[in-house]
Structure 1
Amino acid sequence: MHSDIHRELHALRAADLRTEVDRFRLAREARTPGGLRGRLGWFLVGLGLRLVHRPPVHVARIA
């Protein structure tokens, strides 16, 4: 294959990949909860899960 043709095909494929990445980013941004409110909500969910799954405290017995 001639080097100029190979370079043109590579440029076309690179442009297609950039377009696909842009579409993916836009779709992902539309799906995710946005901003401070979403981050705060997930933080509170994680905090609640840590509090619920805390191991019980064992008191040492002196026999």
Structure 2
Amino acid sequence: MHADIHLRLHELRADELRAEAADHVPRERLRTQLGWTLVELGLRLLEQPHRGPARRAIRTA
């Protein structure tokens, strides 16, 4: 394959990938969304009544 054709194919593929990337959620927005989800989960866990550690009954034979 000629170098100029090879380079042109790479340019076309790069343009396609850039167009696809423009449709996706920006990484910073995704991190923010994940962060708030984790905060919400933590708050829900705090609202639950605290249960002490499970105690096992000790059997003596």
TM-score range, shorter chain: 0.5 to 0.7
Query: What one-letter code is carried by the residue in structure 1 that aligns with 2:38?
Result: F
TM-score by length of 1: 0.52
Residue number in structure 1 paired with 2:55: 59
Deviation at 1:41, TM superposition (A): 2.1
Matched, 1:43 2:52: no
Query: Which structure 1 segments of 5+ residues have no match?
Result: 52-56
Query: Which structure would you say has the larger RCO, counting Cα contacts within 8 Å and 6 or more residues apart?
Result: 1
What are the residue-to-residue correspondences of 1:1-63 with 2, within 5 Å? 6-29=2-25, 34=29, 37-44=32-39, 47=42, 57-63=53-59
Q: Which structure: greater helix fraction?
A: 1
Structure 1 moving runs of 4+ over 6 Å: none
TM-score by length of 2: 0.53
% identical equivalent positions: 10
Once superposed, what is the RMSD of the aligned Cα atoms? 3.6
Q: Secondary structure at the match of 2:58?
A: coil
